[in-house]
Chains A and B, each alone.
Chain A
Amino acid sequence: MKLAGLKSIENAHDESVWAATWVAATDSRPALLLTGSLDETVKLWRADELDLQRTNTGHCLGVVSVSAHPSGVIAASASLDSFVRVFDVDTNASIATLEAPPSEVWQMQFDPKGTTLAVAGGGSASVKLWDTATWKLIASLSIPRPEGSKPSDKSNSKKFVLSVAWSPDGRRLACGSMDGTISVFDVARAKFLHHLEGHSMPVRSLVYSPIDARVLFSASDDTHVHMYDAEGKSQVGAMSGHTSWVLSVDASPDGAAIATGSSDRTVRLWDLSMRAAVQTMSNHTDQVWGVSFRPMGGNGNRGGRLVSISDDKSISLYGYS
């Protein structure tokens, strides 16, 4: 397995690029790349040429997260001022604007069926679930306070929720917090199940293995990538090698590899069978905020693709094989 650099766009945005995701292919078009940046815009790119399709404006502050509906028709972008804009990918028509209290929108993700949007709730120490049909808030999954702590206790801000991930079967939801813990919820019952421990610093990215709903990968500022048995409440592996914070992690669609982006300005590809980095890409000149594999399916997909985005304002596309 290896990555091959295909194309790189310098100054894809005017400022740091902070978020990237793939929009699934639809009948009319292939999969597209969606990026969000500090320059308050969201851009839509066509692979593999990385042609700019459109620039969406409308956010007042930097875009911290973008997420695409599994159908590939709609997508959502969230900015630092805690607005989530849901829009039609092809027309850029606004579908909904979800407003949350400030500091309470971070990473977000559509569930695999596309009925719910999960939003990492930052300072509220919870994950908010929005119904994608009515765009109403349907549930708020709160991390329970440590025993004996009062509501006014400031320690709650330690549970600042940064990241969120759906299990591929859609039954479980995991969220990562600033204190390094990962919380797992049962979505159907809207119930907190347990914590996954092991990280000592903020967990900025989470992803479930696409082939195994129990396996969860987490990326943390403590420079490690962990592999958990999310049901069994245990850490099953740790991968080290980055020299600075690991900012993002994504699993390849075949489930054989994960890619990570880090503050040490590199992108690494990890072979899960060896639990070791097999390739390190150093083409970015600043920290890498996001990595994302193109999902399987759709027509015209000739092979695996990985994209990485960085503070150096550039987007890089790699072939994965």
Chain B
Amino acid sequence: MNKTEEEKELLLRQLKESLDANPDDPSLHFDLGVCLWERAESKETAAEHFVKAVKLNPQNAAAFRYLGHYYSGVSVDTQRALKCYQRAISLIPDDSDSGDALCDLLEQGGKESLEVAVCREAADKSPKAFWAFSRIGFLQLHQCKWSEAVQSLQHAIRGYHNSPQLWEALGLAYQRLGMFTAAIKSYGRAIELDDTSIYALIESGNIFLMLGSFRKGIEQFQLALKISPQNVSALSGLASAQLGLSKECINLGAFRWGASLLEDAHEVAKANTCLYGNMSCVWKLHGDIQLTYAKCFPWMEENHSLEFDVDTFNTSILSWKRTCLMAAVSAKSSYQKALHLAPWQANIYIDIAITSDLISSLNESYEHHLGVWKLSEKMALGALLLEGDNYDYWVALGCFSDHNALKQHALIRGLQLDVSLAVAWAYLGKLYRQEDEKKIARQAFDSARSIDPSLALPWAGMSADTHARDPSLDEAFESCLRAAQILPLAEFQIGLAMLSQHSGHLSSSQVFGAIQQAIQRAPYYPESHNMYGLVCEARFDYQAAVASYRLARYAIKSSADTIPKSLFQDVSINLARSLSRAGNALEAVRECEDLKKEGMLNAEGLQLYAFSLWQLGRHDLALSVAKNLAASFSTMESSSAAASVSFICRLLYNISGLDSAINSILKMPKALFQSSKMSFIVSAFHALDKSNRLESVVSSSRSTLASPEDITGMHYLVALGKLVKNGSESYLGFDSGIFHLRKILHIYPNSNLIRNLLGYLLLSSDKLKYTHIASRSCRIETSNVTRKEGLKSAWEILGAGGVACNVIGSIDMKFSFPTCGYECLNGPKSVQELQKCLRREPWNHNVRYLLILNLLQKAREERFPKHLCTILERLITVAISSESYSKQHMSYQYQKFQLLLCASEISLQVGNIIGCIKHAENASALLLPDGYLFFGHLMLCRAYAAEGNTRKLQEEYVRCLELKAEYHIGWICLKIMESQYEVLADSNILESNFMEFSKEQKNSMDYWVAIFSLVMGLFSIRNKDLLSAEKCLAQACSLAGSESCLLLCHGTICMEIARQYHDSQFLSLAVRSLTKAQETYLVHLPIVSILLAQAEGSLRSKEKWEKNLRHEWFTWPPEMRPAELFFQMHLLAMQSKVGLDYSSRVESCQSPQKWVLRAIHTNPSCLRYWKGLHKLVELA
């Protein structure tokens, strides 16, 4: 309606003119009135026109509205204004201008009921009279009719959905109805519409506080403070939100975090008290913050680098206490200010009582009585005088009072007021416990716990009560843990640590966390440091343990009078033990000597003393201390006596050897050995003792073993003992050990300990067949792979077993035909298991090493495919770069040697001869026994041979001969090198070396000699000397008759000889060997049968020829069948065609012609097949 002045003038003139023409037209009067109304000076005339308009047309609501405005604004005549507005509304109830104006007028006149009536009428008339709904809503809000207000306001919001006031009002109504989420949403909408709406911000903050989401509350209050930095509600809200958040932190045990939050809260509250110093609640809030701060401020070891001594420790404790005390005092004066402002508020009396109780506990010299009542008691009484029916105050009185009768009375009074008051029950339980009424105490705790399981005290009480009804230690520990988790109180936490010491949970992380928190809140208490030390020790952190034992001693020293000597002794012995475990024997000895001076060296101390002396090499002194220890046996309890005895035995063994230890054991009374631990020690000695002097002691002490763990452990030891006893000087008696373990495994099939040892022994044994079955004895369980049982873990045995056999066990037969008779198809499994292990423990170099070896084995079997070689190269590079191989220990150097050889082998296989030589040279340069280095030089031989460098080859060959192999295979390989590359050498040296070496290793001599003969035979074949080859192979077969490869070779040679020399004698020899070969092996070797068929055929036995030929068919994997086989099948098919109908047989599934075609298809270059085909075609 941006009309210019001129246009308006024009309009006015036109209207006037037309009115002159038509003086009875109400609409013209109205329009003119509106025009005139817009001008300030002509309102009177406008009103006249409006009056005329309504006279002419009483239905014109707008005119009435304008008249209403006129009477209320220009000529103040409220009554008329009211009437005009009322008229306007009754005509058009939706008219919000009139409605609002009318209601404002009514409100000014104080006619609230009339206002309601007007609004209701309008609302009834039209659902679109939103102004009326909003008015009604506000009024209902004012009258605290929350649920009605919600309805009205919701309706109003449909009309004015962008009104922040309405949303705010709706939020308030919801809030009062307890619908907090809805309230938050409404307030949120109000804030969206008007982000300066401080009321909505503060109220939604308050709701967040009530719902416990303090962070969101803090946000809201901070926003509110940005708008109005001095708003008391916002400041208080922010401070109490921070207080709430910090209490949450403190309940989690994050004291430092809580304290820092409280420092912020303190700032806010302080500002608030400066602004609003006469508000009691502001001071109370400040007091609450300070009190919480005093209760949570943690003691910190400020400078970790700085070593504590007694003085610095004391000053640190004092300054911590002072900080707490200052906060408490400040809390107290804040509460007093609050009380001074509002002395009728009972709860502040309780606050003062709590604070003064805390102060007097922090500061012993504080309490100075004026009367018979303690200050805290008296203040609690003050609260009760004002509000005698508040049960919380009664409980508070019960807590503060020193008189048990009054305590009991107050608590029972609290319970009378509310029988389900868990706190009162809990404190009552505590009181009864102190009075030694264990049974009632327990009942009280029970009822407290059943009423409110989230209360810490009854749980703690239950755990402290272990003796009353004897719940198990574990149960007590669980209860105490719950208590400490609900409420991180130093007392609970220390108790928890003490319980965990007895129940064996000392190293659990709950205990660790708890005791760390306990130190923050009770640093002056020696036991907290002592327990922390014990926990650290249980977690193998000896340095930390030593530090905290020291702190414990400072704490004892600074409060010397109240603490029993025995604690000092305990702590000192703990310290000495930790020192010695941390490897600081010198300090440990010093501690022990100090204790000795004080005369406080008990059995454990003596043990430590002797042990530390032994560590320092002062053996004589150690022995004399041990003697002292032995002298005190009679006074000891049986358990500690056993510990001492076992210690002495071990010390004697380590210092003066086995005999002396055994002699002293024999001298001691047998009763001392009646425990499982002792039994192990004695058995260990017994195992080492060849003359079995301890037989009787051992047998009597073993009777004490009861648990399956102990028994299997003992069998483990027995097996190891058998290894030692039944072995020779340089060789362990594996057989007897294995035998024993096998028996035991039948009794305890679930014992991984036994299984792993058995596997290990099987692998270590020199019997070939054992190595194949080793991996079968162990079980890989993913659940407890991390725990290592016995000498080797299951995966180590599996990995080693994988490389122990030449057959990795590819399921795919295209690479080779395995001839291992032990069905050890664990190759792929071991590679997978090792990968799993490596994934779990990527830092474990042993796993990587075994994986590399297994993969190499696999690569070898698959003829070194490209991808495997690449993988291996990368793995080896990673493995060799591992830090652990820089260690000088033999086992690491040996692994490195093996890895280098693997790398060298891979290089050789991929044709990188320079790399191969480099790796092999690196390997040969390591400091290892000659027997190992031999293989390095053998590798060099191969490399130079591949390079064609005869001179170097010769050198390396000679070097190999000098070094001498410790394994048969080494000699055999060397022999192959010698023969293949015609190295200039006296071949007898090698052979005689080999034979000499073989004689030492009796167990497997035959087998290896057979292989040697095989090699010799193969070279004879190369030299076309078939007869001597046959001799060699015959020898080989006689030595290792079960090896089908040898038999096959021999059979083949025999057939060749028979062919060349037409000697049927050899033919029958061939038949014998081949038949044996066919029979012995489980997986049938190919070629054996076809050769046998041929031999039988030559011996005119057609039936056997047919049978063997058919047999041959099945020995080949389908995709690998050679052309010759098809051709032979054609012959077979021809036979059957001529003869009877053998349709069920293999050869008859196709016509002979098809067989030949298949043969030609497989190998088209063979003329024989073509000829065969030709013949067949001709026949047809």
**Which residues of A are in contact with B by a Cβ distance under 8 Å?**
15-16, 18, 38-39, 58-62, 64, 80-83, 85, 97, 99, 101-104, 106, 122-124, 152, 154, 157-158, 160, 162, 178, 244-245, 263, 286-287, 311
The verdict on B661 contacting chain A, using a C-beta distance below 8 Å, is no
State the Cβ distance, A131 to closest chain B Cβ, in Å: 20
**Contact call B344/A101, Cβ cutoff below 8 A:** no
**Contact call A61/B336, Cβ cutoff below 8 A:** yes
**Contact call A60/B278, Cβ cutoff below 8 A:** no
Judged by DSSP, the binding face of B is: helix
Q: Inside 8 A of A82's CB, which chain B residues have their CB?
A: 378, 382
In the complex, 28 of the A-B residue pairs with CB atoms within 8 angstroms, ordered by the A residue number, are A15-B333, A16-B333, A38-B336, A38-B337, A39-B333, A58-B370, A60-B356, A60-B370, A60-B375, A61-B352, A61-B356, A62-B340, A64-B340, A82-B378, A97-B370, A99-B370, A99-B371, A101-B382, A101-B385, A102-B349, A102-B383, A103-B349, A122-B344, A123-B344, A154-B387, A178-B344, A245-B278, A287-B278
Task: Select one of B337, B340, B375, B386 contacting A81, CB under 8 A.
Answer: B375
Q: Inside 8 A of B39's CB, which chain A residues have their CB?
A: none
State the CA gap A106–B388 with chains docked (Å): 20
State the CA gap A106–B344 with chains docked (Å): 11
Q: Inside 8 A of B383's CB, which chain A residues have their CB?
A: 102-103
State the CA gap A124–B382 with chains docked (Å): 11
With A80-B339, A83-B370, A123-B385: A244-B333 Cβ-Cβ less than 8 Å? no
**Contact call B371/A83, Cβ cutoff below 8 A:** yes
**Contact call B278/A103, Cβ cutoff below 8 A:** no
Nearest 6 CB-CB pairings of A with B = A102-B382, A263-B278, A160-B344, A103-B382, A62-B336, A60-B375
State the CA gap A59–B333 with chains docked (Å): 13
**Contact call B344/A16, Cβ cutoff below 8 A:** no
State the CA gap A18–B337 with chains docked (Å): 9
**Contact call A263/B277, Cβ cutoff below 8 A:** yes
Q: Inside 8 A of B375's CB, which chain A residues have their CB?
A: 60-61, 81
Q: Inside 8 A of B337's CB, which chain A residues have their CB?
A: 16, 38, 62, 311
**Which residues of B are in contact with A by a Cβ distance under 8 Å?**
277-278, 332-333, 336-337, 339-340, 343-344, 346, 349, 352, 356, 368, 370-371, 375, 378-379, 381-383, 385-389
State the CA gap A39–B388 with chains docked (Å): 30
**Contact call B344/A102, Cβ cutoff below 8 A:** no
**Contact call B343/A103, Cβ cutoff below 8 A:** yes
State the CA gap A311–B282 with chains docked (Å): 15
**Contact call A103/B371, Cβ cutoff below 8 A:** no
**Contact call A106/B382, Cβ cutoff below 8 A:** no
**Contact call B278/A80, Cβ cutoff below 8 A:** no
**Contact call A102/B385, Cβ cutoff below 8 A:** yes
Task: Select one of A59, A80, A85, A154 contacting B340, CB under 8 A.
Answer: A80
**Contact call A81/B379, Cβ cutoff below 8 A:** yes
16 more contacts with CB within 8 A, not counting A61-B336, A311-B277, are: A15-B333, A38-B333, A61-B332, A61-B352, A62-B340, A64-B340, A80-B339, A102-B349, A102-B382, A103-B343, A103-B349, A123-B385, A178-B343, A244-B278, A263-B277, A263-B278
**Contact call B386/A103, Cβ cutoff below 8 A:** yes
State the CA gap A154–B352 with chains docked (Å): 22
Q: Inside 8 A of B278's CB, which chain A residues have their CB?
A: 244-245, 263, 287
State the CA gap A102–B378 with chains docked (Å): 6
**Contact call A97/B340, Cβ cutoff below 8 A:** no
State the CA gap A80–B382 with chains docked (Å): 10
State the CA gap A106–B333 with chains docked (Å): 17
Q: Inside 8 A of A59's CB, which chain B residues have their CB?
A: 370
**Contact call A81/B343, Cβ cutoff below 8 A:** no
With A15-B333, A60-B356: A81-B344 Cβ-Cβ less than 8 Å? no
Q: Inside 8 A of B344's CB, which chain A residues have their CB?
A: 122-123, 157-158, 160, 178
Q: Which residue of B has the minimal Cβ distance to A59?
A: B370
Q: Inside 8 A of A18's CB, which chain B residues have their CB?
A: 340
Identify which of A59, A102, A152, A158 gathers the most chain B CB atoms within 10 Å of its CB.
A102
Q: Inside 8 A of A162's CB, which chain B residues have their CB?
A: 343
State the CA gap A16–B341 with chains docked (Å): 12
Q: Inside 8 A of A124's CB, which chain B residues have their CB?
A: 385
Q: Inside 8 A of B389's CB, which chain A residues have their CB?
A: 152
State the Cβ distance, A285 to closest chain B Cβ, in Å: 9
State the CA gap A38–B383 with chains docked (Å): 20
Q: Inside 8 A of A80's CB, which chain B residues have their CB?
A: 336, 339-340, 352
State the CA gap A157–B348 with chains docked (Å): 14
Q: Inside 8 A of A311's CB, which chain B residues have their CB?
A: 277, 337
State the CA gap A178–B336 with chains docked (Å): 18
**Contact call B336/A123, Cβ cutoff below 8 A:** no
State the Cβ distance, B275 to closest chain A Cβ, in Å: 11
State the Cβ distance, B371 to closest chain A Cβ, in Å: 5
Q: Which residue of A has the minimal Cβ distance to B389?
A: A152
State the CA gap A16–B370 with chains docked (Å): 23
State the Cβ distance, A223 to closest chain B Cβ, in Å: 11
Q: Inside 8 A of A62's CB, which chain B residues have their CB?
A: 333, 336-337, 340
**Contact call A104/B385, Cβ cutoff below 8 A:** yes
